[in-house]
Amino acid sequence: MKKIILKYPPFTALLISYSSLFTFHFSVAAEPERPNILWLVCEDISPHLGCYGDTQAHTPNLDQLAADGVRFSRAYANSPVCAVARSALLTGMHSSTLGTQHMRSRPVVPDTIPLYPRLFKKAGYYCYNGQKTDYNSKNLEEDKEKFWDVTGGHQSIAKLPKDKPFMAVFNTSVTHEGQLREDREKKYVVEGKIPTNPRIPTAEIMLPPYHPDLPGIRHDWARFYDQITMMDSIVGEWLDDLEKEGLADNTIIFFFSDHGGMLSRSKRFIFNNGTQVPLIIRVPEKWRHLAEFDYGKYLPGSVNDELVQFVDFPKTILSMVGISPSPKMHGRVFMGPKYEAEPPFVYFYRDRQNGRYDMSRAVTDGRYYLIRNFMPHRPRGQKPEHGYTVQRNWNAWADWFERKKEEAPPVYARFFKPKPVLEFYDLHNDPWQIHNLCLDSAKVSSHQGKINVMQNALFSWMIEIRDTSLIPEAMFYDLIGDGTPFPTVFDYGQSKSFQIVKALEAAKLASQGEASLLKRYLEMLGDVDPIVRHWAAYGIYLVGRNDMDLQKTLREFIQQETYSANRVMAAQALSICGDPRTAYEVLSEEIFSQVDESKRLLALNALEYANVDQYLDDKDWKKLDNHAHAKNKGDPLAYLWSKSITEFLRERRSSK
* The pLDDT value given to residue 256: 98
**Single-letter residue type at 383:** K
Supply the pLDDT for residue 5. 30
Can you give the pLDDT at residue 653?
Answer: 87
More confident residue, 31 or 207: 207
Q: What is the pLDDT of residues 232-242, one digit of tens each?
A: 999 999 999 99
Per-residue pLDDT band at 30 (split at 50, 70, 90): low
Question: Can you name the residues that pair with 170 across neighbouring β-strands?
Answer: 40
Q: What is residue 255's three-state secondary structure?
A: strand
- Residue ranges of domains in the chain: 36-174+251-344, 471-655
- Which of 79-88, 212-221, 497-506, 627-636 has the lowest average pLDDT? 627-636
As a whole number of angstroms, the distance between CA 150 and CA 170 comes to 12
26 with 241: CB under 8 angstroms?
no
Residues in contact with 298: Cβ distance below 8 Å, sequence separation at least 6, in sequence order: 70, 283, 288, 291, 292
pLDDT in tens, 615-652: 999 999 999 999 888 777 888 899 999 999 999 999 98
Q: What is the pLDDT of residue 166?
A: 98
CB 127 within 8 A of CB 117: yes
Q: Which amino acid is residue 77, in one-letter code?
A: A
Model pLDDT, residue 32: 76
Of 94, 250, 263, which is closest to residue 177 (Cα–Cα)? 263
For residue 239, give every residue at least 6 positions away whose Cβ sits within 8 Å of its Cβ, in sequence order, or none: 61, 65, 248, 253
Helix (H, G, I), strand (E, B) or coil at 173: coil
Residue 18 confidence class, pLDDT cut points 50, 70, 90: very low
**Spatial CA neighbour of 90 closest among 69, 124, 119:** 119
**pLDDT > 70? residue 20:** no
CA distance 126 to 441: 57
Helix (H, G, I), strand (E, B) or coil at 214: coil
Amino acid, single-letter form, for residue 503: A
H/E stretch holding 425 reads strand 422-426
Task: State how far the alpha carbon of 254 is from the alpha carbons of 76, 101, 156, in Å.
Answer: 14, 25, 17
- What span, in angstroms and rounded, lies between the C-alpha atoms of 323 and 48? 33
Q: How confident is the model at residue 17 (pLDDT cuts 50, 70, 90)?
A: very low
Q: How many CB atoms lie within 10 A of CB 417?
A: 14
Contacting residues for 314 by C-beta, under 8 A, at least 6 apart:
89, 90, 91, 92, 114, 116, 119, 325, 329, 331
Q: 126-130, 388-392, 650-654: which range is least confident on average?
A: 650-654
Cross-strand bridge partners of residue 81:
none
* Predicted local confidence at residue 315, as pLDDT: 98
**Which amino acid appears at position 14 of this protein?**
L
Q: What is the pLDDT of residues 111-128, one digit of tens each?
A: 999 999 999 999 999 999
CA end-to-end distance (rounded Å), the chain: 89
What's the rounded Cα separation, in Å, for the pair 463 and 361? 13
The fold adopted by the segment(s) 471-655 is: Leucine-rich Repeat Variant (1.25.10)
**Is 38 in contact with 170 (CB distance < 8 Å)?**
yes
For residues 600 and 594, the answer to whether their CB atoms sit within 8 Å is yes
pLDDT for the residue 296: 77
pLDDT category, 31, cuts 50, 70, 90? low
The pLDDT assigned to 633 comes to: 81
Q: Residue 535's pLDDT band (boundaries 50, 70, 90)?
A: very high
Residue 16's pLDDT band (boundaries 50, 70, 90)?
very low
The HSE-up count of residue 648 (CA atoms within 13 Å, CB side) is: 22
Say how far apart CA 616 and CA 149 lie, in whole Å. Answer: 52
Question: What are the distances in angstroms from CA 240 to CA 139, 159, 224, 294?
Answer: 36, 15, 24, 32
- Give kind and range of the element (H or E) at residue 545: none
Q: Which CATH architecture has domain 36-174+251-344?
A: 3-Layer(aba) Sandwich (3.40)
User: Average pLDDT, stretch 83-108?
Assistant: 98
pLDDT digit string (tens) for 297-324? 889 999 999 999 999 999 999 999 999 9
pLDDT for the residue numbered 188: 98
pLDDT in tens, 165-210: 999 999 999 999 999 999 999 999 999 999 999 999 999 999 999 9
